[in-house]
Amino acid sequence: MSLDPRTVSATEFPDWLRAVGTGFLRASASVPAEEVAVRLEHTDLSRVQGVFDAGRCVATFRSFAQELTVVGGARVRADAITGVTVTPTHRRRGLLSRMMATDLAAAKERGDVVASLIAAEYPIYGRYGFGPASWTTEWEIDVPRAGLDPRARVPSEADGGRIELVDGADVRKLGPELHARLAARQHGVVSRDERWWQRNTGVDVPAFETWTEPFYAVYRSADGETDGLIAYRADAHWGDRKQPLNKATVVGMLATTPAAERALWHFVCSIDWITTVRSGYRAPDDLLPLLLPDPRAARVVTQADWLWLRVLDIPRALEARTYATDAALVLDVRDATGLAGGRFLLEVSPSGASCVPTKRDPDLVLDVAELATLHLGDESPVRLAALGRIDEHRPGAAATAEAVFRAARRAWCPDVF
């Protein structure tokens, strides 16, 4: 019997969810009916694919509408891909490749500018034209070594701001507006819907996640604006000599101003009993390590690729972002699928950009996956040329691309999806 990917009906959806659990090595037991109902309410079934063998789901794939902030703050339509699994008995028969081809073709047809995902493993998605467009760093801070006096008042008080503890309901009320302000300035941020705020504050949490209520705190500026939000959990660990050795793990932190960012890090590093702080996944250029009097107190515990992109519409993607320089480049972009490739003249200036098809000789030849890696300004074209991943057809073109594509701050995607 042929194994063909197809869309999934509401009655098949519980088994599809069960298969996602199997693929992600969670218990393969069926998903509770109440959870199926909540998920169904928030799922566009026309974008859910599955493969069924003898009536049992053996492969899963889902996409949903997302907005991605690009360099300069504009937001583009993304085809966000998630829930990708193929049951161990059916791997390496091309099922993922077929589901991906169907989804990317539909996204292109719909007019999405890019596709996006967080890759479970690095080697999976490059073959489909995806490249890592943002990276993440997680630090563990040895608080006593950091040089912050735990008895000190949080520095926010110096600028009239203050920190307030709040609860989950407050976060659901304040969070979306704060996130929208961050999304208007931080490239790499992806949209969050109402369900995200519910699920991440303990409302209708999936059965496979054990929910423990975190502490929430907000930073309010002198004029009463909520400019920052932090969520953290603390463990209960005491040393043999009856000293508190508790660890705080930050599960989310958003800040729209440097003052809020500094105040929230200072706050979480100044809580009595807390001797270790785990930062959660941050931008690699987060202020955190350098705002500590002794930055060596912050040890890197994770350094990895994070958001992967696949460009579907090169002119719209390149015209959506901003550029800090005046330059022109002819890019010959190779795309084996035929979805997005071609030769384009990119002309940029601080006041705007244009990207149009051209027959001129190329300055740079690159795969569409490398273009995705450059798109959020987070990788060096000179480094990619040195790696042989970009071909320089005009001497100096990689250096020009360096000035064109790089951004002052690193991209950051705060979410897993």
E strands, 294-372, are 298-305, 307-311, 327-334, 342-349, 352-357, 364-367
**Stretch 119-148: interaction string toward ligand ACO, x if CB under 6 A:** xxx-xx--x---------------------
Q: How far is the CB of 170 from ligand ACO (least distance, A)?
A: 32
Other C-beta atoms lying within 10 Å of the C-beta of residue 6: 13
The span from the CA of 281 to the CA of 139, in Å, is 8
Cβ proximity of 136 and 281 under 8 Å: yes
- According to DSSP, residue 157 is labeled G
Tokens found for residue 210 = 């054990």
Residue 86 in marked binding region? yes
Residue 88 or 293 with smaller CB distance to ligand ACO: 88
- From the list 52, 61, 125, 219, the catalytic residue is 125
Centre a 10 Å sphere on the Cβ of residue 397 and count the other Cβ atoms it contains: 22
Contact flags string 9-28 toward ligand ACO, x per CB under 6 A? --------------xx----
- Contact yes or no for 306/413 (Cβ under 8 A): yes
Choose the stretch contacting ligand ACO; rule: CB under 6 A; options: 67-75, 90-98, 231-239, 284-292: 90-98
Give catalytic status of residue 323 as yes or no.
no
Angstrom distances, CA of residue 192 to CA of 114, 197, 216, 298, 316: 17, 7, 18, 29, 23
Q: Which is nearer to ligand ACO, 118 or 329 (CB)?
A: 118
> How far apart are alpha carbons 134 and 282 in whole angstroms?
11
Q: 117 or 368, CB closer to ligand ACO?
A: 117
Cβ-based nearer residue to ligand ACO, 64 or 405? 64
Q: Is 84 among the residues that bind ligand ACO (CB under 6 A)?
A: yes
* Residue 82 touching ligand ACO (CB under 6 A): yes
Q: Is 85 in the site for ligand ACO (CB under 6 A)?
A: yes
Q: Under 8 Å CB-to-CB from 153, ≥6 apart: which residues?
A: none
376 binds ligand ACO, rule: CB under 6 A: no
User: Binding residue per annotation — 63?
Assistant: no
Considering only residues 92 through 121, tell me which ones interact with ligand ACO, judged by CB under 6 A. Answer: 92-97, 117-121
Q: Is 251 annotated as a binding residue?
A: no
Q: In the chain, how long is the greatest CA-to-CA distance?
A: 75
Lay out the sheet containing 215-220: strands in order across. Answer: 162-166, 215-220, 226-234, 246-255, 274-278, 135-142, 298-305
Please check whether residue 69 is in contact with residue 183, taking contact to mean a CB–CB distance below 8 angstroms: yes
Q: Is 81 in the site for ligand ACO (CB under 6 A)?
A: yes
User: Residue 114: CB partners within 8 Å, gap ≥ 6?
Assistant: 68, 76, 77, 78, 79, 309, 310, 311, 312, 313, 317, 372, 375
Residue 417 is a catalytic residue:
yes
Choose between 119 and 366: whose C-beta lies nearer to ligand ACO: 119
Residue 328 Ramachandran class (φ > 0 left, ψ -120 to 50 alpha, else beta):
beta
Q: Cα dihedral angle (203, 184, 378, 76), rounded to 10 degrees?
A: 80
**Shortest distance, CB of residue 93 to ligand ACO, whole angstroms?**
6
CB of residue 264 to ligand ACO, shortest distance in Å: 30
Number of residues that bind ligand ACO (CB under 6 A): 23
Cβ proximity to ligand ACO: between 292 and 372 the closer is 372
- Say if residue 95 carries a ligand binding annotation: yes
Q: What minimum distance in Å lies between the beta carbon of 82 and ligand ACO?
A: 5
What is the set of active-site residues? 125, 417
Chain residues binding ligand ACO by CB under 6 A are 23-24, 81-86, 91-97, 117-121, 123-124, 127
Annotation: binding site for acetyl-CoA:
84-86, 92-97
Annotation: binding site:
84-86, 92-97
